Amino acid sequence: MDEPVSGSVVSCAACRVIDRADGVEDGKLYKAEHYPVGNERRIVTAIKRSEDRLADRVTAFAGSLNFVYIHAMWFGIWIAINAGLVGASAVFDAFPYGLLTMVVSLEAIFLATFVMVSQNRQAARSDIRSDLDFENNLRSEIWSVHIGQALGLDAEHVESVVRAAIDGYRAETAATTAASPSASSATH
């Protein structure tokens, strides 16, 4: 039986099929720009700074119903006081409530920043997850091709069927995507 992958030289028939699948026979069974990653949660925890944890907590609270209830009470009390319901001497921000508008605008600016920080970190986590998916898919592909070869399956034929299925799927989804904007504009 042939030796498996040795350095950058692919010597077994099944590995050569995998190597040719990306269109370049270079002795690599993976993308050149790929780098190894480990456990997603460990990596994210390691890169998560205290600022990220704060942004996550603020974003989690701002996205809760408690946030809505607190703000509804706060606005109600603010407007009641400044409408003179507690007495004219308590009014500190007369209608049209310019101070309230400024406070809410500043709060919106900070909340938007916290949300963006959390989203950027989630995007980094998604990239890590994508790399882990790639590694698992690569591992599965290599095992599948080797098992197929051990069973006597024609790896070249299987790869051509896979390629045809992928090309067909891409063509079908591209046609659906191209048709969607015109279909949705016709319904409005």
For the chain, the distance separating the N- and C-terminal CA atoms, rounded to the nearest angstrom, is 64
pLDDT digit string, tens, across residues 128-170: 888 888 888 888 888 888 898 889 998 888 888 888 999 999 9
Q: Scanning the structure block, which residue is given the tokens 């950027």?
A: 120
Percent pLDDT > 70 in the chain is 78
Against a cut of 0.75, is the pTM above it? Answer: no
Give how far Cα 68 sits from Cα of 63, 65, 75, 100, 115, Å: 8, 5, 10, 16, 16
Residue 35 pLDDT class (50, 70, 90 cuts):
very low
12 in Cβ contact with 2 (< 8 Å): yes
For residue 74, pLDDT over 90 is answered with yes
Q: How does pLDDT run across 177-187, given as a tens digit for each residue?
A: 888 765 455 44
| Residue ranges of domains in the chain | 38-136
